[in-house]
Amino acid sequence: MTDNRTAIVTGAGSRRGIGQGIAHALAGQGWNIAVLDLDEASAKDTANAVAEAHGVAAVSAGCDVTDKVAVDAAVSVVESELPEIGALVNNAGITSPVPFLEVSDEEWDHVFEVNVRGSYLMTKRVVGGMAERGFGRVVNLSSVSAERGGGVFGGVAYSAAKAGLLGFSRALARELGPSGVTVNSVAPGLIDTDITAGKLDPERKAAMIADIPTRRAGRVSDVADVVAFLCRPESGYLTGVTYDINGGSHIH
């Protein structure tokens, strides 16, 4: 059990997204849940579904994670309505398949704003309280693209941004370890979500799956279960780690 703590999951509004799966997995362990998403209505739907399914307290807030004022406002709502924040899952992110020679400066900056700055702002807002209380779990959503250099779904901008999160996680793990706060990453491979649905032609998807040792795409639950494991109080000796969730498509 989580001793009546709250977990924040960003980007958890999408009905078939990894974030929603993570919210359910954490609620299943007894966490109260705060759902933050750019789409406020979707965030509310997820929070209601989580509360109904697991009997925990859940709140939602519309939040642009790239906006410091919006982040502060959303977290303030969480702090006023739920027990102390014990976990943060930085799931909000965007992909970009645009080749490097074609990517615009604006697209490059936007990918970094959402994936890197968003995770930075959310983490900066909540980890001080975690460190003061002597307990915290931060999990950042990276990607296999960061480790193998793209070639899955995202281009150079996406791979670079997600690689940035790995360095961020490792360095922060060293800094916050003495305070009882762990910081870890997960790096999913090909996962069946709304992001990939309909955007991969069947032939390419079949070819990708044929190259995965487990011979299937990942499920949202494959990622959510690992994130929930990393957030457990009992996982306090795991920090600075990257968990690869790719069915063996990238072994290193």
Per-residue model confidence as pLDDT tens digits over 125-138: 999 999 999 999 99
User: How far apart are the C-alpha atoms of 163 and 153, rounded to whole Å?
Assistant: 15
Q: Where are the alpha helices (DSSP H) in the chain?
A: 18-28, 40-54, 68-81, 105-112, 118-133, 144-148, 156-176, 202-210, 220-231
Question: Is there a catalytic annotation at residue 120?
Answer: no
pLDDT of residue 2: 61
What is residue 1's predicted lDDT score, i.e. its pLDDT?
54
| pTM attached to this predicted model | 0.96
Work out the average pLDDT over 220-249: 97
| pLDDT recorded at residue 55 | 97
Q: Are 245 and 186 in contact (CB under 8 A)?
A: yes
d(CA 79, CA 6): 9
Domains observed in the chain: 6-234 (3.40.50.720)
CA-angle at 96, arms to 68 and 239, nearest 5°: 60
Q: Taking residues 86-100, report their average pLDDT.
A: 95
Partner residues linked to 184 by β-bridges: 139
